[in-house]
Amino acid sequence: MAIYYIDGEFVPAEKAVIPVDDLAILRGIGVFDLLRTYDGKPYFLDAHIDRLETSALKIGLSLPWSHDDIAGVVNQTLARNDIPEANIRIVVTGGSSTDFMNPSGSPRLLVLVSPVPRLPDHWYTRGVKIISWEVERPIPGAKSIDYISASLALKKAAAEGAIEALYIDRNGLALECTTSNIFAFIADKLVTPGRGILSGVTRKVVLQLAEGLFPIDVRDISRTELLAAEEVFITGTSKGLVPVIQVDEGIIADGRPGQRTLQLMAEMKRHTEKK
C-alpha cells in the first residue's frame, strides 16, 4: 500500500484524509503539480516545484514552505514507498475555513505517489486522435485543482475515440490540451503556442531538444492552421511525446506519425535514459 504525505504526516493511502472544512473541498481552491520518476529519481523536480509556487502565487495562496522543504517532503515520500517508477502529485490546498469562504488556517501540503501507468504502445507507433473543445482556462499559467472543464472535455473525447481534448479560445486559436501542450510542424518550422497556456515542463524539454534540429516559432496557431499542419504532436509529464494523426474529423497529413516527430521522440528517449 502506498504511503502519502498529508499535512505533516506520512500515512497509508487508505487513511489519508483532510478536514471537510478545507477550501479545496468547499470551493475548489488549491493548486497541484504532477511529475514522474525515471530510474526512481524525480524528473525535473525543481522545475515542477517552481511551477507549483507560481500557480499558488497566481491564485493568491501564500506557501509557508520553502522550495527545499517541498523537495525534501517529495524525496522522503518516495523513500517510504517501494515503487520502481512513480507518478508524484504535489497538492497545496486552500486550508480550513470557518466561514466556508475565506481561509482561516494555513494551506495544507499533500504528496501522493502511484505507479506510472503503462500507456498503449500504439499511441506512439500509430498516433492518436484528439478533439477540439471551446474553452479557456480562467487563470492561464495556474495549475489549479479545478478540473471540471477538463473532465467534461475528456469524457467527450473518450466518447469520440480520442485520448485528449484541445482547448480552443474565442478567437479560434489552439491553446493546449487538458493535460498536454500542443506542437505542430508548419511550413518546415516547429510551432507551439506561447500565451494563454500552462507551460509544461516536458514542453520546455522538447523545445530545448529541438534547438539546432529545426527552426522554432513560438506563436499563436489557429485551429484551421493546425488541421493543415504537416505533423502534430502533444507532450505531457505522464505521456511524454505522442504523435497526433487526427483532430476532430480532420486527418493530419497522411495519417501517420511524421519523421520529425519520430526524431524528437528518439531524442526524448535518449534524454530520459540519461536521468
Same domain, 157 and 43: no
Give me the CATH number covering residue 193.
3.20.10.10
pLDDT per residue as tens digits for the range 46-103:
999 999 999 999 999 999 999 999 999 999 999 999 999 999 999 999 999 999 999 8
246-255's contacts with Cβ under 8 Å and 24+ in sequence apart are 246/127, 246/128, 246/129, 246/130, 246/162, 247/129, 247/130, 247/131, 247/132, 247/166, 247/223, 248/131, 248/132, 252/227, 253/229, 255/127
Give me the CATH number covering residue 41.
3.30.470.10
Give the residue numbers spanning the domain of 87.
3-115
Is residue 275 very low, low, confident or very high in pLDDT (cuts 50, 70, 90)? low
Q: Cell numbers of 106, please?
A: 494555513
Compute and round to an integer the Cα radius of gyration of the chain.
Answer: 19
Domain C-terminal end among 85, 115, 145: 115
pLDDT, position 7: 97
The per-residue pLDDT of the chain, averaged, comes to 96
Same domain, 257 and 139: yes
Domain C-terminal end among 115, 134, 153: 115
Same domain, 43 and 179: no
pLDDT per residue as tens digits for the range 150-205:
999 999 999 999 999 999 999 999 999 999 999 999 999 999 999 999 989 999 99
User: Model-level pTM?
Assistant: 0.93
Average pLDDT over residues 218-240: 97
Same domain, 84 and 165: no
The total of structural domains in the chain comes to 2
DSSP 3-state of 131: strand
Same domain, 9 and 140: no
pLDDT per residue as tens digits for the range 5-56:
999 999 999 999 999 999 999 999 999 999 999 999 999 999 999 999 999 9
Q: Cell numbers of 58, please?
A: 497566481
Same domain, 158 and 247: yes
Same domain, 11 and 136: no
